[in-house]
Amino acid sequence: MILDDLHRSALYAGVAPGLGIAFDYLHGTEFSHVADGKYPLGESGVYALVSRYRTKTPNDAVWESHRRHIDVQCVIQGRERFGYAALDRAPSVKTPYNDEKDVIFYEPGSDTVTLAAGQFAIFFPQDVHAPSLTDGTPSDVVKVVIKVPVRS
């Protein structure tokens, strides 16, 4: 996992193919004018998911990991807590890998990090994460998740 402020994203653009595309989109888009939905970013297989929602309690957390995608999760407005565990210390698997949806679900973990507006987290296939959590009182969030295919 990488956690940082969006203004330092250039440091990470070369970490994996497609991350530069993700950060270009985040820097070049005024999200107050973008409707919720899925947006392909060129021919690269990278796509963005723009969403507005209310954060949820840890009891409603969905702990997950992916094998074929890196998640770049950027909070545009509000604050959000994320559950996090390294895959080699992950909670027990709740639902085995679904190849069609590229997801494994886990029992709840306990470690968290909080992102404020203008911050992002990059979750790699070795990172279990639980997004959309409240860091106290549920609040409204605008977030962009960019799915970057893992290249071998």
Q: Which domains does the chain have, with CATH numbers?
A: 2-149 (2.60.120.370)
- Chain position carrying tokens 């609040």: 139
pLDDT per residue as tens digits for the range 28-42: 999 999 999 999 998
pLDDT per residue as tens digits for the range 74-130: 999 999 999 999 999 999 999 999 999 999 999 999 899 999 999 999 999 999 999
pLDDT-based confidence at 135, cuts 50/70/90? confident
- Chain position carrying tokens 């909670």: 91
Element (H, E) at 23: helix 19-28
Prediction pTM value: 0.95
Q: What percent of the chain has pLDDT over 70?
A: 99
Q: What is the rounded CA–CA span in Å between residue 148 and residue 48?
A: 9
Say which amino acid occupies 92: S
CA angle 87, 89, 91 (to 5 degrees): 85
